[in-house]
Chains A and B, each alone.
Chain A
């Protein structure tokens, strides 16, 4: 035990003291904020203001209506023109338009099917949508006027709806939207941690092997202790980083509450308040801790085994670790499916089978326990994951013991399996 502690301490301290750790811990939340604010800013700044010429053969689009609408809705400018389409096709650019629309002679009762926005450039859906909505506002007005619907009736037509959200009657607190958000966040965080810190374990083992210090160390400790110490040490580094991020989030939250800041910060604060009231936060945090650690052990030991088996060549390590990385990525795909239908068979099984359970179960839990995830599923999933990581740690230990002193050719998965199941 004393020796494992020493190894954990070394692995932990050498990593936490590194500049890259400090920088990445600070930078990640900053980048995250920059991303959120920056995206909003860029979207706002780069919005395209389309100038559209309209040829109207239906007679509904009067210059008066259009100019009034242009005043109300400034996201694009429509201009009624009276030239022929052939003329406009050659001259719309000189006249300062981005494109033109020809409205055929249609009746207000049937509508106009697909109109075409013709232009020398391609525009995305976002922009045609803006123009479409604008045209529809006129069209609505035309219909309303023709049907003699006054503004009171209009309001009734627009506002009176039936809407539907799903509610799990077994779980009073669950709120599908918040749950979805938390589910995604938890699943993706675990995914990131597994990949980033899993490969750190692999690199760490490779470093020891190529530095040839492995033989010195295993003349003092058992290879298994050496591997376990590394995995635990790096796991602690991941936890530390994670707690720092949570602390950072709480600070932002408190500042947000205190200052009553507007805009996105306010939204964040609001959604966090939502989170705390709508979901069982202590349970989620506990499960997150569990699946984070157990999933980390599960994958990190496999990555460690691969690190021990290869030489200094990064490509060898990548090709050998590809199947493991694939498992993690498949888990994320399953997670997306599970969030779409959190009680469906894919969600249930993927959250019970050990390789995908850390990510998928974590995405399901926010939907509610025991409403969406019955206790037996949670228990079975945890038990299987514990068995799973005990198995992978044992398996990896066997490979590690042989691999760490083996230099030369990269072994195949088949050979590594032989190492694992060879007696002693």
Chain B
């Protein structure tokens, strides 16, 4: 079942169609990547899902029911891109406060905070203030405050920015663990290598509209360019009958594009027919990065203000 369904969401601001008719569904337990260039409308979309903004039009279905911001926010954990904590407040108190605001009782909050603090080796921080923490440390704290109330839906906006590889991995493992325990994670980022590594499903947003939606595997299939890599010392000289054309050669690796109507096996047959010793043969799928750039290319780097007549 889907934990979250968006139907025709719209949010217009005075000078921008920030979100213009986006529909999405996120399955329970999925790690969902919400991608898009700067200013694409991701934050506005997330703010509608977290109940911060009301959509101008459209519907949000959360956990099978119409989204009710007042009560449902207790099942959502949101870590905004711009992190924030009270600088002068003690860390233990602050975590307790944020947990109670999410509806936890004092006792529940206390046990969970202790568990997380032990897991992240933060026990000694209790009486320190946030201003004493480094950027990476406060990032960890922010993550803990986001997931402490065991939300069904966790929304993380660039969760790894500012973290060193060790702490990145720590958080990554926690994200996997949370998803395995049934939480759904929406993960917004520009870092495509992380998306390929972590996400099951992605949606790409640009200029307020969804331009791509699917599993990582499917998307790669959809955007493949029929490129294959052939490992061989030398390819036979080409004539018009070859089912492929060579795109590039790097020492004994040749990148070829299969002509339309031909299959990979045709390539192998052709090579075998020419008695070429093939060392390797594999498909080259586009990276998400390539797909991202290809789709978003041509969009001005900064979104322009526009006049809205509505």
Residues of A in contact with B (beta carbons under 8 Å apart): 3, 6-7, 10, 14, 207-208, 211-222, 405, 424
C-alpha spacing A220/B84, complex, angstroms: 14
With an 8 A cutoff between CB atoms, is B54 at the interface?
yes
C-alpha spacing A5/B123, complex, angstroms: 28
**Do B84 and A215 have beta carbons less than 8 Å apart?**
yes
- Chain A residue with minimal CB distance to B155? A219
Residue from B70, B79, B102 within 8 A of A222 (CB atoms)? B70
C-alpha spacing A6/B74, complex, angstroms: 15
Residues of B contacting A405 in the complex (Cβ-Cβ under 8 angstroms): 47, 52
**Do B73 and A219 have beta carbons less than 8 Å apart?**
yes
Known: A14-B89, A215-B82. A220 touches B102 (CB 8 A): yes
C-alpha spacing A214/B216, complex, angstroms: 34
C-alpha spacing A207/B87, complex, angstroms: 9
Residues of B contacting A214 in the complex (Cβ-Cβ under 8 angstroms): 84
**Do B102 and A216 have beta carbons less than 8 Å apart?**
no
Residue from B79, B85, B89, B101 within 8 A of A220 (CB atoms)? B101
Interface string of B112-133 (1 = CB under 8 A from A): 0000000000000000000000
C-alpha spacing A153/B70, complex, angstroms: 87
Residues of B contacting A215 in the complex (Cβ-Cβ under 8 angstroms): 52, 78, 80, 82, 84
C-alpha spacing A221/B218, complex, angstroms: 39
Known: A6-B101, A220-B101. A213 touches B86 (CB 8 A): yes
Known: A211-B85, A220-B73. A10 touches B97 (CB 8 A): yes
Residues of B contacting A221 in the complex (Cβ-Cβ under 8 angstroms): 101
Residues of A contacting B98 in the complex (Cβ-Cβ under 8 angstroms): 216-217, 220
C-alpha spacing A405/B79, complex, angstroms: 15
Residues of A contacting B83 in the complex (Cβ-Cβ under 8 angstroms): 212
Residues of B in contact with A (beta carbons under 8 Å apart): 47, 50-52, 54, 69-70, 73-74, 76, 78-80, 82-89, 97-98, 100-102, 142, 145
6 A-B Cβ contacts within 8 A? A7-B101, A14-B89, A214-B84, A216-B78, A222-B70, A405-B52
**Do B84 and A6 have beta carbons less than 8 Å apart?**
no
Residues of B contacting A208 in the complex (Cβ-Cβ under 8 angstroms): 84, 86
- Chain A nearest Cβ from B136, distance in angstroms: 17
**Do B88 and A14 have beta carbons less than 8 Å apart?**
yes
Residues of A contacting B74 in the complex (Cβ-Cβ under 8 angstroms): 220
- Chain B nearest Cβ from A406, distance in angstroms: 10
Residues of B contacting A219 in the complex (Cβ-Cβ under 8 angstroms): 50-52, 73, 76, 78, 80
C-alpha spacing A10/B145, complex, angstroms: 17
- Chain B residue with minimal CB distance to A7? B101
Residue from A3, A212, A222 within 8 A of B84 (CB atoms)? A212
Known: A219-B52, A219-B73, A219-B78. A211 touches B89 (CB 8 A): no
- Chain B nearest Cβ from A412, distance in angstroms: 14
Q: A14-B86, A211-B85, A212-B80 are in contact. List 13 more A-B contacts (CB 8 A).
A: A6-B97, A14-B88, A207-B86, A208-B86, A212-B82, A212-B83, A212-B84, A213-B84, A213-B85, A215-B80, A216-B85, A216-B142, A218-B52
Residues of B contacting A14 in the complex (Cβ-Cβ under 8 angstroms): 86, 88-89
C-alpha spacing A396/B101, complex, angstroms: 22
- Chain B residue with minimal CB distance to A220? B101
**Do B101 and A3 have beta carbons less than 8 Å apart?**
yes
C-alpha spacing A213/B100, complex, angstroms: 15
Residues of B contacting A216 in the complex (Cβ-Cβ under 8 angstroms): 78-80, 84-85, 98, 142, 145
Residues of A contacting B101 in the complex (Cβ-Cβ under 8 angstroms): 3, 6-7, 217, 220-221
Residues of B contacting A7 in the complex (Cβ-Cβ under 8 angstroms): 101
C-alpha spacing A208/B145, complex, angstroms: 17
Residues of A contacting B88 in the complex (Cβ-Cβ under 8 angstroms): 14
Known: A216-B145, A219-B76. A424 touches B54 (CB 8 A): yes
Residue from B54, B76, B87 within 8 A of A211 (CB atoms)? B87
Residues of B contacting A6 in the complex (Cβ-Cβ under 8 angstroms): 97, 100-101
